[in-house]
């Protein structure tokens, strides 16, 4: 008998266990059981109906949902497929059961046109992420190009392209910087320097209007189109090509209006560019104001003419409109403009709202940027002009 030199003194090392080369019966049984459970799980997942008993209540509910009773009323169809409301891609049916419960079912609607549907988010104003692009439902083709129109669901350009505001009905001021597009340098500085709350008005005779308007909208500005109208000293003082004239036929003036409208898009309304004589002539002005209103646009009168008929006609025709309360840069000096803006604030505190009109002078841009920041600290809300219009 051999001696184990490493065993503790007085103790014997236990005999080593002999390993079996085969699994025991218990282990084999456990493995088979596990494989069986896995197989049943896969089978149940692929064939759920074979493992589920018949539930009469469930069958009755499914039948009622699939086959609504004769009292079910389908939801009204959406208008077009280019842009639809969130549920316009489905047929919505409501069925009242015997116990008074209402069961609502949704089914895909058959498309009448080709192409994808654009789902609206439910807001009446444009999503800021898409502000550089026009809404196709608010445009129509014409001999002059795309013209603004009211959408099939009643949405207007003046509503959709308006800058959102708080809705608090506090003291509000709109500042409009006009004459943009005529000077490339001044236009660029106004777009990139002024706060997005400031409204920008582009002259129809300006250059690169589509590009400037797109950039303005992406920066958050509300936009107006300035249409040239006849002043009292025309043609010595000429607003530009295609000026609307008192002496011209109605159809000729409307053609000039539409030619101006087609030069850009994404704007909430029309503002006069000069035009004291035209604004004072109700007969010449009436068809123009009517067309503006029927297209869902607002009209901003710069307030420079005491004889203007725009207010009376706008109220009669139901056109959203507003007036400028003050020209802020009659004297082109930063200090003088700041004083005018303080005066505009006093008007707003007295009346609740005020509209200031200026031009893209360097001094005006600097003064407006400075004053806007200070005024907001005093509780003044700077808003887009569309929020201060009335029908």
Instruction: Give the pTM.
Output: 0.70
Instruction: Give me Rg for the CA atoms of the chain.
Output: 36
Residue 320 inside a domain? The answer is yes
> What's the confidence (pLDDT) of residue 83?
40
Q: 5-18: per-residue pLDDT in tens? A: 444 444 454 454 54
Q: What is the pLDDT of residue 124?
A: 84
pLDDT tens-digit series, residues 188-243: 999 999 999 999 999 999 999 999 999 999 999 999 999 999 999 999 999 999 99
pLDDT greater at residue 83 or residue 287: 287
Task: Extract the tokens encoding 312.
Answer: 């009376």
* Structural domain that includes position 363: 137-388
Helix (H) / strand (E) element for 258: namely helix 250-261
Predicted confidence band at 113 (pLDDT cuts at 50, 70, 90)? very low
Q: Could you report the per-residue pLDDT of 144-174, keeping only the tens digit for each? A: 999 999 999 999 999 999 999 999 889 999 9
Instruction: Please indicate, yes or no, if residue 128 is contained in any of the structural domains.
Output: no
32 within a domain of the structure (yes/no): no
Are 278 and 245 in contact by the 8 Å Cβ rule? The answer is yes
Residue 254, C-beta contacts closer than 8 angstroms, at least 6 positions apart? 287, 288, 291
Average pLDDT over residues 21-35: 56
- Domain with residue 237: its CATH number is 3.20.20.370
pLDDT at 380 over 80: yes
- Residue among 376, 378, 330, 335 nearest 357 (CA): 330
Residue-level pLDDT at 125: 85
pLDDT above 90 (res 74): no
Would you state the pLDDT for residue 50? 42
Residue 85 has pLDDT above 70, yes or no: no
CA 61 vs CA 39, 58, 67, 354: distances in Å:
32, 5, 10, 60
The per-residue pLDDT for 78 is: 38
Asked whether residue 7 is assigned to any structural domain, the reply reads no
Give the pLDDT mean for 326-332: 97
Q: How many domains does the chain have?
A: 1
Average pLDDT, the chain: 81
Are 90 and 107 within 8 A, CB to CB? yes
The angle subtended at Cα 177 by Cα 289 and Cα 386, nearest 5°, is 45
Q: Which of 307, 292, 304 is nearest to 358 (CA)?
A: 304
Domain contains 347: yes
Q: How far is CA 347 from CA 208, 302, 324, 340, in A?
A: 36, 16, 12, 11
Reply yes or no on whether the pLDDT at 44 is more than 60. no
Judge whether 287 lies within some domain. Answer: yes
Q: Looking at the domain assignment, is residue 168 inside a domain?
A: yes
Decide if 144 is inside a domain: yes
């Amino acid at each position: 008998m051999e001696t184990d030199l490493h065993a503790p003194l007085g103790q014997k090392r236990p005999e080593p266990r002999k390993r079996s080369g085969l699994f025991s019966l218990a282990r084999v049984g456990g493995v088979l059981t596990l494989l069986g459970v896995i197989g049943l799980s896969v089978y149940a997942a692929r064939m759920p109906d074979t493992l589920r008993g018949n539930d009469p209540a469930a069958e009755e509910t499914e039948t009622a949902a699939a086959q609504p009773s004769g009292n079910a009323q389908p939801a009204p169809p959406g208008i077009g497929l280019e842009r639809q409301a969130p549920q316009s891609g489905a047929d919505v049916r409501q069925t009242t059961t015997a116990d008074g419960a209402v069961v609502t079912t949704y089914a895909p609607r058959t498309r009448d046109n080709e192409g994808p549907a654009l789902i609206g988010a439910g807001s009446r104003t444009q999503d800021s992420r898409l502000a550089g692009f026009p809404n196709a439902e608010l445009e129509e083709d014409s001999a002059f190009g795309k013209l603004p129109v009211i959408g099939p669901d009643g949405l207007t350009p003046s509503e959709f392209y308006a800058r959102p505001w708080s809705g608090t009905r506090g003291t509000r001021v709109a500042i409009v910087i006009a004459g943009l597009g005529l000077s490339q340098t001044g236009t660029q500085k106004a777009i990139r320097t002024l706060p997005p709350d400031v409204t920008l008005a582009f002259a129809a005779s300006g250059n690169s209007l589509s590009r400037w308007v797109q950039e303005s909208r992406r920066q958050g500005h509300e936009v107006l189109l300035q249409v040239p109208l006849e002043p009292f000293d025309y043609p010595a003082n000429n607003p530009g090509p295609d000026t609307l004239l008192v002496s011209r036929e109605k159809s000729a003036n409307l053609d000039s209006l539409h030619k101006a409208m087609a030069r850009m898009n994404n704007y909430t309304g029309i503002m006069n560019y000069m035009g004291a004589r035209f604004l004072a002539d109700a007969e010449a002005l009436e068809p123009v104001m009517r067309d503006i209103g029927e297209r869902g646009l607002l009209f901003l009168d710069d307030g420079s003419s005491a004889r203007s008929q725009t207010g009376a006609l706008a109220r009669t025709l139901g056109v959203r409109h507003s007036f400028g309360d003050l020209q802020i840069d009659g004297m082109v000096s930063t200090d003088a403009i700041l004083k005018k803006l303080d005066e505009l604030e006093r008007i707003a505190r007295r009346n609740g709202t005020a509209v200031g009109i200026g031009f893209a002078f360097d001094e005006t841009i600097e003064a407006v940027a400075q004053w806007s920041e200070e005024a907001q600290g005093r509780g003044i809300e700077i808003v887009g002009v569309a929020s201060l219009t009335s029908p």
